[in-house]
Amino acid sequence: MTTQDVLVLGGGTAGFLAALALKKELPPHIGVRVLHSSKIGTIGVGEGSLRQLPEFLHSYLGIDARRFFAEVQPTWKLGIRFRWGAGADFDYSFTPQVCVTHPHPDLSRPLGFYCFDNLREHSVTSVLMDNEHAFLRAPDGSPLMEGNYGYHMDNRKLAAFLERYALEQGIELLDDEVREVSADADGVRTLALASGQSVRADLFVDCSGFRSLLLGDTLGEPFVSYRSSLFCDRAVIGGWQRTQEPVRPYTVSETMDCGWCWQIEHEDRINRGYVYASDFISDEDAEAEFRAKNPHITDTAMVRFRSGRYRRAWVKNVVAIGNSAGFVEPLEATAIAAICSAAKMLAQTLAQAGDCAVRDSNRDIFNRYNERSWDTIADFLAVHYRFNTRMDNAFWRSCVNEVDLRGAQPIVDYYRDNGPCNHWQLILEDPLCRFRLDGYYTLLLGQGVAHAQLDTPSARERDAFAQLQKATVQYAARGVGVTEALGAVRGEHWQWRPQHFGVNPGI
């Protein structure tokens, strides 16, 4: 099948990011259109990202960061602070923390061996987070905007910006509603619209959100549930206008009675959401718990979801991206990163397949990719539930006793015997897993999961590690908060620079 005409169904984050990637990669004679319904609107949630989003927007699509900051008004996210597990709070940051070795002669093993009791003070990012600083300060006093960060942003502002930008790139936009879909043995043929018009295309990219109108509804692709690992299926969402609270450069995720709650920081607003399991708590009780812990909350809204993915994302002439392909609860805020990589993979697959021909092998490999992309996220999330011992109630006892660790089991088994050792990283780590071995070990150490090597660091090693912590705290003490950094971005001379990985830079 050759592709001359691509129709993206859906104008949420997934629809526009997919359309922009296709427009960038495909030859100009191939039409890219977006069909969406402003009456139906977008999901309106999806506010935290991983570091893949800034890379995708600015490095890959070439969107000017200064304009993005002016129109979408994001803030920076260095990672997640977990109020989780029985022990102290800990950070999962986008910069490797525990699987790294340090060039100190007395610290021969990865840092994770030395920080069972305190995961925060040896990592620059974590010290920045402790001090509520987004960046280190350069010698001239300005923010040193380097390192690994994602964005916090308002989902509706992001979708509205992407719509404007897509129009500027020559993407055609249709605002109408699909009423009926006709399909045959080769896939989807036509979409009949509310206006009476009907549209055809060679390839349909289904970004219709949880409806999964083409892949799930029309082609009947089976859904693979993650319910044996992830019990939550609803969220109650609310927020309030910021007053004196500092703008934190991280998301907070904290344990609740029957799930967990996020706190996401916008410049003018604080947004919270309680993700809960409806088998264990009623909607009314969840809302009451949410309001009791967040007395400033004004209006609330409830979203239902199911965690899982479609067996295949690309079937015949339909490829699903975004919530229409798969979904896991936003405990690590992964959906937008999954959208970015699927959009890029699809666009590049078509672009390199001469005449944009689609072969079975292209579909198969994309489907394998999509499967692993979602499954590796579900595996990682399972670890958050299985080892969280902060609460003793029916929900958390079920998590501790019943959560299926899925693909995470071999990593957990290895860690229990060998500690946070990266010797077998190549075997233990799936290259498609966004969290790497470092993320797994951070979550295991942070939740206080014991391993057999706990007592092995020598007195000399402990001493050297204490020196490293002291030096890190001193090094990162002069930082710049989000509000000051936003001022710098709005200044005349600011320029975005691609991020780079850094571990304890300068120490």
Task: Name the residue nearer to ligand FAD (CB basis): 286 or 336.
Answer: 336
The verdict on 80 binding ligand FAD (CB under 6 A) reads no
Residue 211 makes contact with ligand FAD by CB under 6 A = yes
Task: List phi, psi (to 5°) of 318.
Answer: -125, 125
Q: 165 or 465, CB closer to ligand FAD?
A: 165
Q: How far is the CB of 310 from ligand FAD (least distance, A)?
A: 13
Smallest distance from the beta carbon of 68 to ligand FAD, in angstroms?
16
Q: How far is the CB of 11 from ligand FAD (least distance, A)?
A: 4
For residue 13, state whether it binds ligand FAD (rule: CB under 6 A): yes
Give the neighbor-by-neighbor strand order of the sheet with 479-480.
Answer: 143-144, 135-137, 479-480
* Binding status of residue 313 toward ligand FAD by CB under 6 A: no
Q: 354 in helix, strand or coil?
A: coil
The structure tokens 């997919």 sit at: 18
SS3 101: coil
Q: 339 — phi, psi (to 5°)?
A: -65, -50
Which of these ranges, 31-39, 215-223, 434-442, 485-493, lies near ligand FAD under the rule CB under 6 A?
31-39
- Tell me, residue by residue from 287 to 306, as one string, x for binding to ligand FAD by CB under 6 A and - for no binding: ----------------x-x-
| C-alpha closest to that of 260 among 226, 236, 229 | 236
Q: Per CB under 6 A, does 330 bind ligand FAD?
A: yes
List the beta bridge partners of residue 183.
188
- Per-residue three-class SS string for 283-349: HHHHHHHHHHHCCCCCCEEEEECCCEEECCCEECCEEECHHHCEECCCCCCCHHHHHHHHHHHHHHH
Write down the residue that tokens 């602070």 correspond to: 81
When asked if residue 239 is in the footprint of ligand FAD (CB under 6 A), the reply is: no
* Interaction of residue 400 with ligand FAD, rule CB under 6 A: no
Least Å distance, CB 393 to ligand FAD, is 22
Assess contact for 250 and 91: CB atoms under 8 A.
yes
Binder of ligand FAD out of 41, 141, 246, 491 (CB under 6 A): 41
Bridge partner list, 236: 274, 302
Q: Which stretch binds ligand FAD (CB under 6 A): 47-55, 109-117, 350-358, 440-448?
A: 47-55
Interface ranges with ligand FAD (CB under 6 A): 10-15, 35-37, 40-43, 45-49, 155, 177-178, 207-209, 211, 213, 235, 273, 303, 305, 322-324, 330, 333-336, 339
